[in-house]
Amino acid sequence: MSGLRRRISSGGSHHEKEAMNQDSRLSHVDATGKVTMVDVSAKEISRRTARASALVTIGPQAFAQLTTIGVKKGDAFTTAQLAGIIAAKRTCDLIPLCHGLMPEFVDVRFELQPPDAVKIWTEARVEGKTGVELEALTAAGVAALTLYDMCKAVSKAIVIGPIQLEEKTGGKSGDWRRT
């Protein structure tokens, strides 16, 4: 752990520096360096939304099959959409320190990017004491993995990424949008 701390403090990437400037400490690490769950009990309930995306580059052959005749496993988009929605609802089962939110709305949509990629767009909403960024990101990631699973018989060279937060609203930290 101390090696990791030394590497980050000795420069780090642009993204590491940006994150350090926005918040001087990690939210799930206490002053002694011990991992801890954030206490949200005193926070006010507010409407919170998050939007995320994932890019899945599946290759031209899998793209053609996915968009014309389908794949052997069935309707890949419906399967990936349902997987993303279920994943958003189960995020706290997958990420140890994530609070147990029940999103009131989850949307998973697909944008074809010929000749070889699919962009996944997700949105999650909740009235709660903490944000739904992880739920939106988990929906995007699991939908992407499901597309991989549906297309892997055609191509093993599928690439997933980036998976990223696009926007969040609500809460003490306010609104944020990727520029």
* 149 flagged as catalytic: yes
Nearest to 166 by CA among 53, 85, 48, 49: 53
The catalytic position among 39, 107, 149, 175 is 149
Q: How many CB atoms lie within 10 A of CB 26?
A: 11
* CA-derived radius of gyration, the chain: 18
Q: Give catalytic residues, as residue numbers.
A: 149
